[in-house]
Amino acid sequence: WLSHADTASSIKVEVYDKDAEIQVRKRLAEIESEKIKLEEVIGIYDTRRKNEARRASEIQEFKARQAEIAEAKRRAEEEAMREAARKKAAAEKAARIEQKRAARGRYHVFFLVGGDHVDDSFDETTTCVATNGESTILLFEHADWAWTSGLPKSLRNKLNGRSRNLPKPTYVALGTEDRYYIRFANGHAQWVGPSSLTKAIKK
């Protein structure tokens, strides 16, 4: 519209362009619509990004869990193999022990001084028995030994209080006049006897 006012001091003229206002409002509406659409696109993208991140995290957790399961399975299989090997080794060792026991015999008949003590000490783990008629000594699988009274003093001193960390005795023989021969697991031997015995041993 066109308006004017007459005053003594001035004349004010206002011109209003209706078409221009309509165009501005239309453009503002278009901008607002584009903004809404853009926000929707951004929202969709943000949701998609979050979903992908969550999915990637889930996949990573799944892979980590699968790796843990595989490692646990591997350790269990290795432990089962070790246990089977231990059982096999134990069975083979037991079989060898049984063969040795069967070869050396499991039973005894004797008439000895201190026979009751010998009878009480003798069992299937006994590996060696030596006697001189007055004293008897027994060796066992578990690196132990037992004897009756009258054992040669020097032999008794070697065994009495002997450390279990030292090689165990594996063979012993007794003679008269406090003579004896004893051999240990490391192959070393000690004896008391005539010179002919020393010569025979050192051949």
Angstrom distance (rounded) from CA 25 to CA 38: 20
d(CA 184, CA 138): 14
What's residue 14's pLDDT? 54
Check whether 144 has a pLDDT greater than 90.
no
pTM: 0.54
Residue 42's H or E segment, with its range, is helix 18-104
pLDDT tens per residue, range 21-48:
888 888 888 888 888 888 888 888 888 8
Is residue 161 pLDDT above 90, yes or no? no
Q: Could you tell me if residue 175 is left (phi over 0), alpha (psi between -120 and 50 degrees) or otherwise beta? A: beta
Q: Are 146 and 137 in contact (CB under 8 A)?
A: yes
Torsion of CA 38, 40, 43, 47, to 10 degrees: -130
pLDDT tier, 1 (very low <50, low <70, confident <90, very high otherwise):
very low
Q: What percent of the chain has pLDDT over 90?
A: 38
The mean of the pLDDT values for the chain is 85
Q: What does the pLDDT look like over 89-121, one tens digit per residue?
A: 999 988 888 888 787 776 766 777 777 888 888
Contact call for residues 126 and 142 (beta carbons, < 8 A) = no
